[in-house]
Amino acid sequence: MTEVDQVENDDYEDDIELDQPRLRLVQKAIDARDRMALDDLLEPLHGADIADLIEQITEFQRLTLVELWSGNIDGEILSELDEGLREELLSSLPAEDVAEAVRELDTDDVVDLIENLDDQSQAGVILGALDDADRVAVEQALTFPEYSAGRLMQREVVIAPSFWTVGQAIDHLRTAEELPEQFYHVILTDPRMRPVGHVTLGKILSSPRDMPLADIEEDSFRTFEATDPEAEVAYAFNQYHLISAAVVDEDDRLLGVITIDDAMSVLDEEAEEDILRLAGVDSEGSLSDRTLGTVRRRFPWLGVNLVTSILASLVIAQFDAVITEIVALAVLMPIVASMGGNAGTQSLTVAVRALATRDLTGANVWRVIRREVMAGLINGVAFAIVMGIVGVIWFGNPMLGAVIGVAMVINLGVAGLAGVGIPVVLEKVGVDPALASGAFVTTVTDVVGFFAFLGLAALWLL
C-alpha cells in the first residue's frame, strides 16, 4: 500500500499553483530561450494557471513561449485566456493545433470561444475542426441570442425515460458510448423528449436496482428556456442552490443542460461588470488591454463627467460676486460638494447592488429611501456641527459656520434621496443603474451642494 500511496501522493501534489517565483523563472527561461527549463516549469501547471501566466508576460515573451514550448496551447488554456489575447494567440498558432485544441472542448466552451472572435475566418477554422454532430450543435447554439441560456448550455446530456428503474439506468450508463466530462443528474424525459424531472447520481448509486427513477426524483428540478437571459439563469442557480438544470425549446423539448460552473462564471462576470460600471469603466476591458484600448474605454465616462462638472461650474458662476466679496467661500465650497458626492455614492452603491440581487423591490423601496434620507440627514447634522466649528475657528465667522453646516445637512439628505431614487428610476425605464447612476447622483449633489452653500451665503453673509 505505502508504495502505491506514495506514487498517488506525488501525482496530485505535482499539480502546483502558479506563484511569483515560478513566474519569474518562466520569464527567465523564455528570455534565455531555455526550452528544457521551460518545459519543466510549465509541465506541472494547470491550464488555467498557464493562461494566467500568458496574460502576465510581455507580447514578445508570449510569442517566444508559443515557439519554444513543446507542450500545446490546448483547448483548456484557450478557454481560460482573456478574449483579446485569445485572438492574438489563435492567429499565431498553426490551424491544425487550433483544430486539435478545440476538439477536446465541450460544445459550450466552443461557443464561448467562437462568439467573441472578431475575425470570422478563425471561427471557420474552429468550426471546420469539429465533427459533424458537434458542429451542428455549436451552430445551433449560435442562433440563440447572446447572453442567453442557449449559448450557455452544453449539448452533452444524460437522459433516461421516466419509467426506467435504477438498474436500467446503471446498465445504460455502463454501455453508453460517450458521456459528458462532468454530469451530476440523469434527466428523466417523456416520449416526446420533454424533461419531466431529474435524479442525482448519488441517489442512483445508493438506491436498489429495482427502484423506479420517478420515485427518487429531486424537488429542485427546474428548466430554463433557451432564450432566457443568462443573468436569470445565474440568479436561479444561486437562489435555489441548483447544480445542473435542463434547457428546453419553446415546445418544452430538451436541448441541453447548464451546470453550476457555467452559472458561477456568469455570476462572477456580472459582479465584475457592476463593479467596473459603477466606477465608469466599460466592462469589456481587461488588464491585458493596450493603452489605446484603455483610452477609448475610459473616455466616454470622463466626457459625461466633464459635462456634469461644467453644469456645477455654471451654478458657481451665478455667485461670482459673492465669492469676490468673501473668498473663504471658494475655499470651503468643495467640502460641501465632496461630502454630498461621497454620501450619494454610498447610497447608490447599496441601491444598485440591492437591485441586482433583487432585494430592493416595490415592496420596500419607500422604506429604503426613507432610511437613506434619514441617515443622510443625521450624518449631515453630525458633520454640520464639525464643519461649523472648523468654519468659525478657521475664518472667525460664526455665520459662515452656520452656512456651511446647513448646506451640509441639505446636501447629505438630498444625497440619500438621489442615491436610491435615481437607480430605481433608471431600472424602471430600462437603463442599467450600475452604468448611469453615478453621473446623475454626483451631478445632483454637486449642483445642490454649491447652490445651497453659495445661495445661503448670499442670503446670510452679504
Q: Which of residues 29-48 bind a second copy (CB under 8 A)?
A: 46, 48
CB of 378 to a second copy, least distance (A): 5
CB of 35 to a second copy, least distance (A): 21
Contact between 221 and a second copy (CB under 8 A)? yes
- What is the footprint of a second copy within residues 88-117 (CB under 8 A)? none
Contact between 291 and a second copy (CB under 8 A)? yes
Integer-rounded Cα Rg, in Å, for the chain is 30
Contacts of 155 (CB under 8 A, 6+ apart): 107, 108, 134, 137, 141, 255, 256
Contact between 64 and a second copy (CB under 8 A)? no
Q: What gap in Å lies between CA 295 and CA 257, rounded to an integer?
A: 40
| 379 neighbors 343 (Cβ within 8 angstroms) | yes
Place of cell 434620507: 373
State the chain's maximal CA–CA distance in angstroms: 94
Tell me, by CB under 8 A, how many residues bind a second copy: 140
Distance of CA 94 to the CA centre of its chain: 32
Cβ nearer to a second copy, comparing 21 with 94: 21
CB of 225 to a second copy, least distance (A): 13
Using the rule CB under 8 A, which residue among 334, 385, 402, 406 binds a second copy?
Answer: 334
Place of cell 424533461: 195
Q: What gap in Å lies between CA 314 and CA 368, rounded to an integer?
A: 32
- What is the footprint of a second copy within residues 380-409 (CB under 8 A)? 382-383, 386-387, 390
Q: Which stretches of 104-165 are DSSP H helices? A: 107-115, 120-129, 132-142, 149-152
- What is the footprint of a second copy within residues 338-357 (CB under 8 A)? 338-339, 342-343, 345-346, 348-350, 353-354
Contact between 24 and a second copy (CB under 8 A)? yes
Burial of 459 (0-12, 13-18, 19+ CB in 10 A): exposed
Nearest to 98 by CA among 121, 68, 65, 132: 121
| 185 neighbors 254 (Cβ within 8 angstroms) | no
Using the rule CB under 8 A, which residue among 331, 389, 399, 459 binds a second copy?
Answer: 331
Selected range binding a second copy among 32-40, 84-92, 120-128, 281-289, rule: CB under 8 A: 281-289
Strand locations in 130-264 (E): 159-161, 185-189, 195-200, 223-225, 244-248, 254-259
Contact between 70 and a second copy (CB under 8 A)? no
Using the rule CB under 8 A, which residue among 69, 144, 164, 183 binds a second copy?
Answer: 183
Using the rule CB under 8 A, which residue among 99, 142, 231, 275 binds a second copy?
Answer: 275
Using the rule CB under 8 A, which residue among 276, 402, 431, 436 binds a second copy?
Answer: 276
- What is the footprint of a second copy within residues 231-270 (CB under 8 A)? 236, 238-241, 243, 260-261, 264, 267-268
Cβ nearer to a second copy, comparing 98 with 278: 278
Cβ nearer to a second copy, comparing 68 with 390: 390
Q: Is the dihedral of CA 238, 243, 247, 253 positive or negative?
A: negative
Selected range binding a second copy among 16-24, 36-44, 86-94, 121-129, rule: CB under 8 A: 16-24
Contact between 68 and a second copy (CB under 8 A)? no
